Amino acid sequence: MYATHSFWFEALFWWYNVKQAKGPGVTSALTWNELKEHIMEKFCHKIEKDKIEREFIQLQAGTMTHRQYTTKFYEMARLLPEHVKPEAKRVKRYVQGLPPRIRELVRISAPKTYESAIALSAIAYEEDGKITSDNKMK
């Protein structure tokens, strides 16, 4: 109920049509997962999902900051849960997208959880920045 009250514009009009077609009793009995499926069917077409999937598979931190990369990874992983389950797969995919020097530092620590991979990569980014700054000053 809360989620559907948050809909705006096109999503709101779509939801009113669903309620009219199925009836308020049926729509209020939908589980969260059922509602997500309906939303994905309507607003995330196969072509768009395939594009996001390709972007996610090729996601590299590159010149992004740690926060930017982690946020982008989280956003894309949320849309493609099949690519990050189980936890070990999520960790592996996250670490693969890190810059090479950071990636190696994180891999050495062998994080078991996504949260630990994020924490380790944050430390590695910070240390790498210090090393880079020291080298520039020399």
- Which pLDDT band, with edges at 50, 70 and 90, does 5 fall under? low
Q: What confidence tens digit (pLDDT) does each residue in 22-67 have? A: 777 777 777 878 887 877 777 777 888 889 899 999 999 999 999 9
Residue 79: Cβ-neighbour burial (10 angstroms; 0-12, 13-18, 19+): middle
